[in-house]
């Protein structure tokens, strides 16, 4: 016997309607937020932070990709009745534009400086999202958190994907030393008399080739590319994915990308001191993309099917 949709209980139908109602309201709120952020950044460029636009956009796409009808027209009718909330929303964004223009030089300087104090100043740009909270009552936001926890988690991860570059810039003096020491240990097993010189620019000195580790060797570009490719997979297959496994796979993917970068540096040192120094000098940039491609394809082949939902059939 197969379970028909008509056999669903009335309570489940009511829950579905509630979820659909929240979905429709949130979709309109996200569209208004995206439009307001675009206007803010146009009139006050110092406020610009790409993570806000991307996180709002991803949350909208993932919610829309749900199976229920978004009911945007009905949600717009509801928001028309909430003119006070909408007016307050617009007023707050106007205030942010005025403040952003007044503090433009301070925010611009913070965006180009990588210290803890500058990071704190840059984080204040995220306050531009706070006016969105006034568009819906607290009960609706609670219902959103209960109805779409996976979508919110994915949006939150996207929200913080733009910050690692600033974090890497801030921590690079310490991380570069760690990266150099690990690469020295790995490469030292294959290159005799390899010496790791610490300093502002760590250097792995071999008998034939010296490799200096600068910020371009941090692997941040590979992490960005991994996040972009992983995001495409998540958006396309959102309805088929096991959300918990997706989060685990994302963290494993970041770790894999970091380890692949350590392997890349180690291989450059090993090959460069084993008779391939001229080839390494010409191809070390392309080698980075090659190592990343191999690592990503290996990661995807091992985790993609695991991330998919298991198909279950109910039979009696």
- The verdict on residue 124 lying in a domain is yes
Distance CA 9, CA 225 (A): 46
Same domain, 141 and 225: no
Residues 133 and 170 in one domain: no
Backbone angles phi, psi at 274, to 5 degrees: -120, 30
Q: Considering the entire predicted model, what is its pTM?
A: 0.75
Q: In the prediction, which pLDDT does 167 show? A: 73
Q: 3-class secondary structure for 191-220?
A: CCCCEEECCCCCEEECCCCEEECCHHHCCH
Q: Are residues 240 and 140 in the same domain?
A: no
The pLDDT of residue 77: 53
* CA 28 remoteness from chain centre: 23
Could you tell me if residue 315 is inside a domain?
no
Of the residues 84, 116, 147, which one is the last residue of a structural domain?
A: 147
| pLDDT at residue 295, rounded to an integer | 92
201 inside domain:
yes
Write down which residue in 147, 182, 212 finishes a domain. 147
Q: Length of the chain in residues, anyone? A: 316
- Whether residue 156 lies inside any domain: the answer is no
Ramachandran assignment for 193, one of left (phi > 0), alpha (psi -120 to 50 degrees), beta (any other)? left
Is residue 25 domain-shared with residue 110, that is, in the same domain? yes
- Looking at the fold, whether 86 and 10 belong to one and the same domain comes out as yes
Q: Is residue 312 part of a domain?
A: no
Domain check: are 213 and 123 in the same one?
A: no
Residue finishing a domain among 95, 112, 147? 147
**Residue 310 DSSP label:** P
Shared domain check, 100 and 196: no
| Domain assignment of residue 313, yes or no | no
pLDDT digits (tens, 9 = 90+) for 107-148: 877 777 777 777 777 778 888 999 999 988 888 888 888 888
pLDDT of residue 314: 39
Which candidate, 152, 300, 302, 161, places its Cα nearest to that of 228? Answer: 161
The answer to whether position 53 is within a domain reads yes
Burial 11-50 (b: 16+ CB within 10 A, else e): eeeeeeeebbbbbbbbbbbbebbbebbeebbeebebbbbe
Nearest to 148 by CA among 265, 270, 22: 22
Q: What's the number of domains the chain is made of?
A: 2
β-bridge pairing 195-197 and 210-212: unpaired
| pLDDT for position 24 | 77
Domain of 120 in residue numbering reads as 5-147
pLDDT computed for residue 163 by the predictor: 62
At 37 the pLDDT is 94
Domain assignment present for 211? yes
User: Hey, which bits of the chain come out as E strands?
Assistant: 195-197, 203-205, 210-212
Three-class secondary structure of residue 29 per DSSP: helix
Both 263 and 296 in a single domain? yes
Examine the domain organization and report whether 118 and 36 are in the same domain.
yes
**226 & 177 share domain:** yes
pLDDT beneath 50: ranges in the chain: 1-18, 69-72, 312-316
Give the pLDDT confidence score for residue 19 in this predicted structure: 53
53-82 pLDDT, tens digit each: 988 998 998 888 765 544 445 555 555 557
Residues 13 and 131 occupy one common structural domain: yes
Q: Are residues 123 and 169 in the same domain?
A: no
Position 81 scores a pLDDT of: 52
Give the CA dihedral 238, 28, 92, 149, nearest 10 degrees.
Answer: -30
Q: What is the DSSP string of 206-267?
A: -SS-EEE--GGGS-HHHHHHHHHHHHHHHHHTGGGB-HHHHHHHHHHHHHHHHHHHHHHHHH
């Amino acid at each position: 016997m197969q379970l028909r949709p008509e056999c669903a209980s009335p309570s489940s139908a009511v829950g579905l309607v509630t979820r659909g109602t929240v979905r429709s309201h949130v979709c309109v709120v996200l569209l208004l937020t995206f439009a307001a952020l675009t206007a803010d950044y146009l009139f006050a460029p110092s406020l610009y932070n790409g993570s806000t636009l991307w996180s709002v956009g991803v949350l909208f796409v993932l919610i829309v990709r749900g199976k229920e009808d978004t009911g945007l027209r009905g949600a717009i009718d509801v928001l028309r009745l909430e003119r006070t909330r909408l007016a307050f929303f617009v007023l707050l964004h106007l205030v942010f534009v005025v403040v952003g223009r007044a503090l433009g030089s301070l925010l611009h300087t913070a965006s180009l400086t990588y210290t803890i104090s500058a990071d704190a100043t840059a984080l204040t740009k995220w306050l531009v999202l706070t006016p969105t909270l006034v568009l819906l009552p607290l009960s609706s936001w609670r219902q959103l958190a209960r109805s779409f926890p996976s979508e919110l988690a994915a949006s939150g991860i996207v929200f913080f994907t733009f910050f690692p570059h600033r974090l890497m810039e801030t921590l690079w003096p310490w991380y570069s030393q760690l990266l150099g020491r690990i690469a020295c240990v790995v490469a030292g097993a294959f290159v005799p008399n390899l010496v790791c010189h610490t300093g502002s620019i760590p250097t792995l000195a071999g008998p034939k080739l010296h490799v200096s580790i600068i910020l371009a060797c941090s692997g941040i570009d590979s992490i960005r590319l991994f996040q972009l490719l992983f995001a495409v997979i998540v958006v396309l297959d959102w309805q088929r994915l096991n959300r918990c496994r997706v989060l685990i796979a994302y963290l494993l993917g970041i770790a894999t990308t970091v380890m692949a970068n350590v392997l890349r540096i180690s291989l450059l040192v090993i090959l460069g001191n084993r008779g391939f120094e001229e080839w390494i000098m010409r191809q070390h940039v392309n080698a980075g993309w090659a190592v990343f491609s191999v690592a990503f394809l290996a990661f995807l082949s091992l985790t993609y099917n695991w991330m998919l939902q298991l198909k279950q059939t109910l039979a009696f």
